[in-house]
Structures are given as structure tokens and as C-alpha cells.
Amino acid sequence: MPRVRITRRLHFSAAHRLARPDWSDEENRRVFGDCANPNWHGHNYELEVTVAGPVDPETGYVMDLKALKDLVNRRVVDDLDHRNLNLEVAWLEGVIPSTENLAVRIWQRIAPHIPPPAELEQVLLRETRRHWVEYTGG
């Protein structure tokens, strides 16, 4: 049976600060640059979630894209949109909210809820048009 990939793109806006609380402001600025601004900064993130699996002969779907959109909104976007990632998102508590860490946490929020036989194949998170992260699990 052929394996097909489907992708849903969503977006959210959020603020964050990259910093370690156990480091001085100077050390955070040295390592994280402008991203360590103590007054925060924000991004308009683009999130692409790719699911792969066989095409269901009854529906013609790998997974209903509306169901995928609803899942990602419920498990991820609703928690992140117009939030401070450092202060307002319980599932990011204690995590430096880099794009890399955010992509991994998003995967963890979505993967267990993809209906078999489909599987989450990739989370691609764009922080800017020139900077993105791809995570494929593992």
C-alpha cells in the first residue's frame, strides 16, 4: 500500500526570551544575543505538521486534514497564540523556548494523538522567513 504524506500549515504569534535563569544578564546576552532581551521579543510563527500513512480506501484520506487542524489547534496553537512562552505555557515550564525546543515539545503534544495507522512524520516550525527547525521525532 502506498505511503502518502499530508501537511497542514498553521500559525501563531508569541513572545519569548532566550535566557538561563542561573546565568547573569551579561552571559545570557553573550550567548543568546538580542534574543536575551529582558523585555522579551516576539515572532509570527508558521507551523507545518506532516502526517504520513496509507490512504484509507473508504475515505481516500491518510487523515482528515480538518481533524489534523483541530488537533493541532487544541493541543498546541490555543496554548501558544498571543502568549509569553516563558511565563504562560505550562508545558514549556523550565524549558528555554528556543525554536528547537518548541518543535520537540509540539511533537510530544501531537504524536500520541494521531490516529493509526497514520503517524506524525515531521514538525516544521518557522520562527522567521530565514530561520526554521525541522523535527522528525526520536
| Three-class SS state of 82 | coil
Residues 51 and 68: beta-carbon distance below 8 Å: yes
The single residue listed with the C-alpha cell 520562527 is 127
Q: Is-catalytic flag, 127?
A: yes
b/e code 51-81 from CB counts within 10 Å (16+ = b): bbbeeeeeeebbbeeeebeebbeebbbebbe
Q: Which of 41, 82, 113, 131 is catalytic?
A: 82
Do you know the residue count of the chain?
138
Compute the Cα dihedral for 88, 94, 97, 103 and give only its sign. Answer: negative
Q: Closest Cα to residue 124, out of 112, 137, 138? A: 137
Positions marked catalytic: 35, 82, 127
